[in-house]
Chain A
């Protein structure tokens, strides 16, 4: 059974701080990793993807991948109240994505 594990939260951070979201996956055959943001009542939207070990930066977002530890993380710098949402981690293999349960992030003004 392929699994992707996330702490459900809520993770509460003050405005302007760095939010750190973490994810572990069980399938060593996973080759691609994705972070989605989902606002309440809305559908998931893709934020970032990462395929190789190391860091990938896009604006205020940095995705980190460590395949040896089967660990993926998302850092959000200068967190804003508009970043308050549920963040879904997904691991991809065989044209399928396995989603974690999501971490709820709350950014307090």
Chain B
């Protein structure tokens, strides 16, 4: 079974803090993704990575950065947390396929509150 883990289930941070969210997958997947999910707005892609040290911006990258130093680990960084970044953050991974898309497997999510 694919397992995607995230470093925290719940996190409370103060405005202006630098926040690190970690994601690890154990299935040797090439692709990894960071989403945020808010009521009424659905899943929105922040960043994705298709290989070590490679990253692509998603739909809402502003205020975020990512790091992928090892294939199994993908980190999301909030450089200076703001209250509008309070959300559920979901990490996902999938196999790479030329021209298509495999299913994505999600981690349990991190509910981040910025006060």
Contacts and interface: CB of A to CB of B under 8 A. Distances in A.
B106 A43 contact: yes
Contacts of B42: 99-102
Nearest to A88: B43
A31 B99 contact: yes
Contact of B94 (A88, A95, A99, A101): A95
Interface in B71-105: 90, 94, 96-97, 99-105
Chain B contact residues: over half helix, strand or loop, or mixed?
Answer: loop
Nearest to B40: A101
A102 B109 CA distance: 17
Contact of A96 (B48, B107, B109): B48
A46 interface: yes
Interface residues of A, number: 21
A34 interface: yes
A32 B100 contact: yes
A88 B104 CA distance: 12
A95 B96 contact: yes
B50 interface: yes
A93 B100 CA distance: 5
23 contacts: A32-B100, A32-B103, A42-B109, A43-B90, A44-B90, A44-B106, A45-B106, A46-B105, A49-B103, A88-B43, A92-B100, A92-B101, A93-B99, A94-B100, A95-B94, A95-B96, A96-B45, A96-B48, A96-B101, A99-B42, A100-B42, A101-B40, A102-B42
Interface of A: 31-32, 34, 42-46, 49, 88, 90, 92-97, 99-102
